[in-house]
Chains A and B, each alone.
Chain A
């Protein structure tokens, strides 16, 4: 058969000589490679103490955004849920009542909003679909949990702190 490239080597089936059967030279050669790595730059980091920076396009755990006045931006329009290929998002809408104008930005808001993080594939299509800039994927992982129900994230788990009423928590979350 003709070789596709000229890089193929035929297997050498000659019987080994005495020196080769001793393996001494090959062991020393291998040791050189092994110990040589001690003087090279380490490719790993010591994880819990040291953390790698996320890429700017990293897609992690979702957050539900609020506007500058701390009102929830989500109006439960369902576009994230319909865009979601994993069907991880469900929601239930409610109508804003008189006196709740400081809580919700629009006439309709999400009374319940859930993301099943076991289903989520972190593709970011919800973020793309959102017409209200309400959902974003942040630069954190979904933390491990012992039960499956711990991965059902409710609206309260996803909402960012309110800038007017929880200014300290908001600053902390923002990292300043």
Chain B
């Protein structure tokens, strides 16, 4: 990139030089932190995504160096490219804060309040968004929309009521698979994710729609109701996979693998592999490789300290080695008579049955 093509853009009073053609959102993500607007539909790894949810609205207070007039309305930062000398206000603008609260209210109009049931709870972008930018109350007094249940096959569970129609899964299927079998049917209030006449999604890379889904509309059926994400231990692991990069995050409880997902970066998007490609993972890795011996564990995944998933986890490699029973060793081999092992008494998470092996029958 030559020098002329660098544009100077100021976002929330922080100035950064970015190449021409960069969107405001990408420039803000380069600065990072609070300056980056939230995005529900935009996904940097998917071409053509963005512009639908309006959560990334920002105020452009100065169009460019040549035309310093402000833009008349708030603009979607994921779709607006920067101009030289542009000045953008994100969290420093009251208009943006206000508009974002309204967008959250709109997104939540038809979103059911079933976070206690939803498997996405704890890693849900809509939860984070409404917590950070939404209002506490609701003004909606009507019935929420409901849908006929669609079965998307044995691996992916669709909850259409939770969908916010971000189209990410549609783009994923378009760009990762040869033939897309699901899409958005109908319009307006009736718009829904479905396959045309009950097909199952069975492409080898279709499991990635679970990772791109910002809400709990598409979830892992093999992990359905198995555990809450914040009780699991995320571990970076890899395996030699012939079809994909094989670099994943395992969600363990003890040594048991409950769930396999791709690695996500700080924006909740799929992390790049060292060769610079997005690290999509295949269905075999995601759904069928849940034996701890199949994976080479690299270490615990670094989780944002503010996240509920970080509760009960330590940083670094603490907890990688199993604790030893020390009582006998310091007592000349005498073990206590009245020590209670909780696993002998508890019915929960018994050693002999493996919840990850689908022992709870799915309806």
Chain A residues numbered 123-175 whose CB sits less than 8 Å from any CB in chain B: 131-132, 148-149, 152, 154
- List 5 A-B pairs, minimum CB-CB distance, nearest first: A77-B116, A78-B228, A148-B340, A90-B348, A149-B345
Q: Is A107's CB under 8 angstroms from B348's CB? A: no
Closest chain-A Cβ to B112's Cβ sits at a distance in Å of 11
B302 in the interface (beta carbon within 8 A): no
CA distance A90 to B349 in the complex (A): 9
Chain B residue total in the interface (Cβ 8 A): 28
Closest chain-B Cβ to A87's Cβ sits at a distance in Å of 8
**Chain A positions 75 through 97: 1 when the CB is less than 8 Å from some CB of chain B, otherwise 0:** 11111011000000011111111
Which of A81, A97, A107 contacts B231 (CB under 8 A)?
Answer: A81
Q: Is A152's CB under 8 angstroms from B226's CB? A: no
Q: List A contacts of B230 (CB < 8 A).
A: 78, 82
Nearest A residue to B230, CB-CB:
A82
Closest chain-B Cβ to A135's Cβ sits at a distance in Å of 12
Q: Is A77's CB under 8 angstroms from B121's CB? A: yes
Q: List A contacts of B231 (CB < 8 A).
A: 78, 81-82
Nearest B residue to A100, CB-CB:
B363
Known: A78-B228, A149-B345. A131 touches B116 (CB 8 A): yes
Q: Is A92's CB under 8 angstroms from B116's CB? A: no
Closest chain-A Cβ to B270's Cβ sits at a distance in Å of 26
Interface centre among A92, A116, A132, A148 (most CB of B within 10 A): A92
Closest chain-B Cβ to A73's Cβ sits at a distance in Å of 10
Nearest B residue to A149, CB-CB:
B345
Q: Is B346's CB under 8 angstroms from A108's CB? A: no
Q: Is B117's CB under 8 angstroms from A91's CB? A: no
Which of A82, A111, A114 contacts B360 (CB under 8 A)?
Answer: A111
Known: A77-B228, A95-B362. A112 touches B347 (CB 8 A): yes
Q: Is B116's CB under 8 angstroms from A93's CB? A: no
Q: Is A108's CB under 8 angstroms from B349's CB? A: no
Q: Is B348's CB under 8 angstroms from A92's CB? A: yes
**Chain A positions 97 through 123: 1 when the CB is less than 8 Å from some CB of chain B, otherwise 0:** 110000000111001111010000000
- Per DSSP, are chain A's interface residues mostly helix, strand or loop, or mixed? mixed
> What would 9 more interface pairs be, CB under 8 Å, given A77-B228, A91-B348, A113-B348?
A78-B230, A82-B311, A94-B360, A95-B224, A96-B363, A108-B116, A111-B360, A114-B346, A131-B115
B308 in the interface (beta carbon within 8 A): yes
Q: Is B225's CB under 8 angstroms from A108's CB? A: yes
Chain B residues numbered 96-147 whose CB sits less than 8 Å from any CB in chain A: 114-117, 121
CA distance A91 to B225 in the complex (A): 11
B338 in the interface (beta carbon within 8 A): yes
What are 12 A-B interface contacts by the 8 Å CB criterion? A75-B117, A78-B230, A78-B231, A93-B225, A95-B360, A96-B363, A97-B361, A97-B363, A148-B340, A152-B345, A152-B346, A154-B347
Q: List B contacts of A148 (CB < 8 A).
A: 338, 340, 345
Chain B residues numbered 48-64 whose CB sits less than 8 Å from any CB in chain A: none
Q: List B contacts of A92 (CB < 8 A).
A: 347-349, 355
Q: Is B117's CB under 8 angstroms from A108's CB? A: yes
Closest chain-A Cβ to B230's Cβ sits at a distance in Å of 6
CA distance A82 to B121 in the complex (A): 13
CA distance A92 to B360 in the complex (A): 10
Chain B residues numbered 328-356 whose CB sits less than 8 Å from any CB in chain A: 338, 340, 342, 344-349, 355
Interface centre among B117, B231, B355 (most CB of A within 10 A): B117
Closest chain-B Cβ to A130's Cβ sits at a distance in Å of 9
Which of A90, A96, A106 contacts B116 (CB under 8 A)?
Answer: A106
